[in-house]
Amino acid sequence: MAARPPRVIVTKIGFDGHDRGSRVIAACLRDAGMEVIYTPPWQEIPTVVKLAMEEDADVIGISSLATDHLIVPRLMSALRDAGMGDVQVIVGGIVPHRDEAVLLESGVARVFHPGTSLDDVVAEVRALTAKRRQMQGASA
């Protein structure tokens, strides 16, 4: 049987409603053959955790333009608390470089800044999907 396509959640947490970027990313990942579960902005962290669990997501992409990236560490610990530390999280948007280390330290796999090529995003999501499925295979 054919390999399962990556399953990716593209979402926004917090109060920021600028969702053009997440729509672009969702369309780009779809065109790369992935299954994208897209949500509108303003999602709550427990909702995203439940969503990732029910959809058996490999990767969660958080789009952030107006400081919402600062609550991503809370998402990371919520995922770990739910036993879902294997789910890979990436953040894209406006993230000051001084905040990037905080995100990576909290377990975020990668931060994408403005000017990133879509091909890089696709390649990273593929690589992270492979990593997550390997982790799953090891724990199964």
Partner 1 sequence: MDESLTRRILRGDRRTVAQAISCLEAGDERAIDVRRAIAAHQGRAHVIGVTGPPGGGKSTLVSALIKGLRERGRTVAVVAVDPSSPYTGGAVLGDRIRMGEHQADEGVFIRSLASRGHLGGLATAAADVIDLFDAAGFDVVLVETVGAGQSEVEITRYADTRVVVCPPGLGDEVQAIKAGVLEIADVFVVTKADLPDARRTESELQSMLGLRRNASWTPVVRKVCATSGEGMDALLNWLDDRPQRGLRHASVGENKARTVVTGCLAADNFGQSLGIELVSASAGNVTLRMQVRREHMNFNNRCHGGAIFAFGDMALGLACNSHGQMATLVDSGMSISTAVEEGEWLIAQATEVSRSRKIGSYQVKITRARDDAHVALLHGTVYVLDRPVEVAGSAPQTGATQAQ
Residues that bind partner 1 in the complex, under the rule CB under 8 A: 1, 3-5, 7, 26-27, 29-40, 43-44, 46-47, 50-51, 53-56, 83-84, 136
Residue 40 or 96 having the CB closest to partner 1:
40
The least distance separating partner 1 from the CB of residue 43, rounded to whole angstroms, comes to 8
Tokens representing 63 are 């789009």
DSSP state of 13: B
Q: Are 50 and 66 in contact (CB under 8 A)?
A: no
The least distance separating partner 1 from the CB of residue 41, rounded to whole angstroms, comes to 11
Tokens representing 38 are 């897209």
Residue 22 or 95 having the CB closest to partner 1:
22
Q: Are 72 and 108 in contact (CB under 8 A)?
A: yes
Residue 47 or 104 having the CB closest to partner 1:
47
Residue 3 or 138 having the CB closest to partner 1:
3
Angle between helices 45-54 and 72-81 (to 10 degrees): 50
